[in-house]
Amino acid sequence: MAKIATVLAALGLVACNPAASPTSSTVTPTAATASSSRATPALPTPTPTSVASASPASRSSDAKQVAIAGAVRQTGATYVESDLDVPGTCPRGVAKCLAIQTQIDGDHAAYFRARIATLKYSAACYIYTIEAATGWHFLDMTCAGPESGVFWPDVGSFDYVFVPAGSCANVRAAPRLGGKVLTCIPAGTTVNIDGGPDYGVELPPNVSHLWWHIENKGWMAHDFLVQFYTPP
């Protein structure tokens, strides 16, 4: 936990004092942000020509292919076009398989509701991708195990703020580190996600992040709304 706290503090997205004023310096991010396994990778800035040159259908397909490739690398599963709602539904000879059910497009970002299955279990998964000038990139993936209590960012659903106990995560007026801090939500708070995802591009040396809109609050970084778990 101490390691996580150190990483989040370096990101400049989380404040250590939940009671601090939203406009105080304690909730204002530093200019530079550190990279970590929980941070959106530093990618080239999207340009109007890079995203306008491809049709919406082509861009959607590219995002899906990147999501599949990233999910297969992370889980070791075989991708199939199937339902996978029950265990034991993988093709013969396949020990673990993965299927995408729904794609939700955002602003330079997309995520996918998916399922992963073996002979013993079937679990819900979410796969997140972002779009930069160099194309689509896999961000991360989280799955729920039996009785895992894992939650994930998903528009229309509730989630929890995953930061170290005693700290809080900034909520901003815009999906950028430069957005005004409106409040700081304490660890473990339940929030409703009603918008996103939005890939907020930052000028160097800041690190760009994926953002989600919290109902009646503002925008929060993806890093603090994901609890990672991948079934064995």
Q: What is the DSSP string of 126-168?
A: EEEEEEETTEEEEEEEEEPPTT-------TTSEEE--S-TT-E
Q: Is the pTM of this model over 0.85?
A: no
What are the tens digits of pLDDT across the range 38-65? 333 444 444 333 344 456 666 778 999 9
Single-letter amino acid, residue 104: I
pLDDT for 19: 37
Cα separation, 151 vs 167, whole angstroms: 19
Mean pLDDT over 184-196 rounds to: 97
**pLDDT band of 86, cuts 50, 70, 90:** confident
Would the pLDDT of 36 be above 80?
no
Section 7-36 average pLDDT: 36
What does the pLDDT average to over 152-169? 95
Average pLDDT in the chain: 79
Q: Which residue has the higher pLDDT, 119 or 25?
A: 119
Low-confidence winner among 90-99, 144-153, 173-182, 205-214 (lowest mean pLDDT): 144-153
Instruction: Give the residue, 18 or 194, on which the prediction is more confident.
Output: 194
Q: How much is the average pLDDT of 71-83?
A: 93
pLDDT recorded at residue 83:
83
Looking at residue 49, its pLDDT comes to 31
Of these ranges, 3-17, 55-69, 128-142, the one predicted with the greatest mean pLDDT is: 128-142
pLDDT score of 133 = 86
Using alpha carbons, list the distances in angstroms from residue 231 to 2, 59, 98, 164, 223.
25, 30, 12, 23, 20
What is the pLDDT averaged over residues 127-151?
86
Instruction: Write the CB contacts of 212 (distance below 8 Å, at least 6 apart in sequence).
Output: 153, 155, 193, 195, 196, 197, 198, 219, 220, 222, 225
Which residue from 77, 207, 232, 230 is spatially nearest to 152, judged by alpha carbons? 230
- What is the bridge-based pairing of β-strands 122-132 and 109-117? antiparallel
Asked if 222 and 139 count as a contact pair (C-beta separation under 8 A), the reply is: yes
pLDDT at residue 136 tops 50: yes
Q: Which span out of 34-38, 45-49, 162-166, 225-229 was modeled with the highest average pLDDT?
A: 162-166
- Per-residue confidence (pLDDT) for residue 165, from 0 to 100: 95
Does residue 217 have a pLDDT over 70? yes
Reported residue count of the chain is 232
Which of the two residues, 154 and 228, has the higher pLDDT score? 154
pLDDT higher than 90, residue 229? no
C-alpha to C-alpha distance for 45 and 133, rounded to whole angstroms: 6
Q: Which residue has the higher pLDDT, 122 or 161?
A: 161
